[in-house]
Structure 1
């Protein structure tokens, strides 16, 4: 194929068990904007100005937490950060607010890129990456 028929990502839709806490993770902790709500579903749409994430509330209690090594589905979602200071700042803010951290900022492979991984309040793995340039 000579040319891709798609052009980037429009949005990511995530089903969450804790809608308000998950929305707060993006808006209060990461500084994203709430774009709109759909109280009938319910859902909250948030954006960092480059990507939109749609948070859809579960209709029933989840039967079990997602296991990245066992289940087919979203392994994690990864977001770029502009610089290493931003990566470290996100880490401190999340840690200070009781967000579960899988690993703190570290080299990605041999570097210079660095990344960290956490879990948003509904248990979805979220990675933050500074490309190191």
Structure 2
């Protein structure tokens, strides 16, 4: 059977700190703010290949995701084009005080590498380099 879909149009994430999460993508990762919708409220950001809709949580006490007890997004994996870019992401995020779960390391025996961090709302974000420079 041929797939009935053709890729991701956007991913919607509910965040506890809308402005800080948007700045994580725009100011630290160089994404563009596409638009805002104050009625939701939501901020749409894009790296030119994927768009994220960041939705503001309606609670003052959001529940953090636990992969063992919740259904939902385990993590968001973003591709980087080179090992140098992966290292740069790590340096930028570390300098900005972003919580890094683990620094760039091999995926299994390599040559792929990845790292994992948490955005300001606590969403796990992975940065993945395939091991082949493009």
For this structure pair, what is the TM-score category when the shorter chain's length is used for normalisation?
over 0.9
Question: In 1, Cα distance between the equivalents of 2:17 and 2:130?
Answer: 31
| Residue aligning to 1:98 | 97
User: Within 1, Cα distance between the matches of 2:62 and 2:49?
Assistant: 33
Unaligned runs of 5+ in 2: none
Cα RMSD for the two superposed structures: 0.8
Deviation, 1:130, is: 0.4
Q: TM-score, normalised by structure 1?
A: 0.97
Per the alignment, in what secondary structure is the counterpart of residue 24 of structure 2? helix
The aligned counterpart of 1:111 is: 110
The DSSP-based 3-state class of the residue aligned with 2:128 is strand
Indicate the residue corresponding to 2:41 in structure 1.
Answer: 42
Unaligned runs of 5+ in 1: none
Using the TM superposition, name which of 65-74 and 89-98 deviates more: 65-74
1:25-36 pair list within 5 angstroms: 25-36=24-35
Q: What is the total number of aligned residue pairs between the two structures?
A: 132
Q: Distance in 1 between matches of 2:109 and 2:52?
A: 30
Q: With the length of structure 2 as denominator, give the TM-score of the two structures.
A: 0.96
User: C-alpha offsets along residues 78-107 of structure 1, whole Å, 9 cap, x if unaligned?
Assistant: 000010000000001001101000000000
Structure 2 counterpart SS, 1:122: coil
